[in-house]
Amino acid sequence: MSHCILLVDDNRHLRESIKLYLQSYGFVMILAENVIQATRLLVKQSPDIIIVDIVMPQKDGYFFINYVRSNYLSAKIPIIILTAKGMTADRIKGYNLGCSAYLSKPFDPNELVSIIKNLLLTRINSIKSVKKKSNLKFISSNHSSITLNFTSRELSVLKLVKCGLTNKEISLFLHTSKRNVEKYVGRLLSKTQTRNRTQLAQFILNNMCEK
């Protein structure tokens, strides 16, 4: 499966150069020339990596990084800052906002590829680690505890319900049908002995602690 990269830079020549180079490594490239365009593409495409310039017209790269990190659907996507602003204060600001790596222009494209591969490997290992955690411990109001077992998909649905997503939004996020999500929610209601999604979300917020 090819990994998808969103590149946000107002320099057309640089965008095309990076696109062609990364495509030669098998990456699928999505291009945006400004932050407004990038926010629209982010919702539609769900990239695996984001590469963003800082100095752009209208909204700058810092604004976009903050937007990505404040959205629960994109908060975990690795972000690489690629910019001519190489001062220490600029790097610190980027890292404080949640960027994963920083490259100053001009840069070696081989270094960019190495960073991308490393970030993807880290993310894949992180996802595998989350999938292994299929047991959740619940603490009741009388301080007794019970452990409930979930499949990896049930656990994914559970966490998205906790975030307040609708069944339709969950189906889009997990690339499955709304009907399948309804089945998973039904199982979760049964396992947690709750009657509806509102009670389920409240139950999770009040009682859940991951092992």
User: pLDDT digit string (tens) for 73-100?
Assistant: 788 889 999 888 767 888 888 899 999 9
Domains observed in the chain: 4-130 (3.40.50.2300), 133-210 (1.10.10.10)
Q: Does residue 31 contact residue 5 with C-beta atoms inside 8 Å?
A: no
Rg (CA), the chain: 20
pLDDT digits (tens, 9 = 90+) for 129-179: 544 554 555 544 444 556 777 887 888 888 788 777 778 778 877 778 889
* Sign of CA pseudo-dihedral 40, 42, 45, 51: positive
HSE at residue 158, side-chain half, CA atoms within 13 A, is 27
14-23 long-range contacts, Cβ below 8 Å, gap at least 24? 14/105, 18/51, 18/109, 18/112, 21/109, 21/113, 22/112, 22/113, 22/116
Other residues' Cβ atoms within 10 Å of the Cβ of residue 152: 13
Angle subtended by helix axes 178-192 and 197-207, to nearest 10: 60
Question: Which of the two residues, 207 and 111, has the higher pLDDT score?
Answer: 111
Half-sphere exposure of 199 (CA within 13 A, CB side): 11
79: left (phi over 0), alpha (psi -120 to 50) or beta: beta
In this structure, the number of other CB atoms found within 10 A of the CB of residue 138 comes to 16
With a pLDDT cut of 70, the percent of the chain lying above it is 83
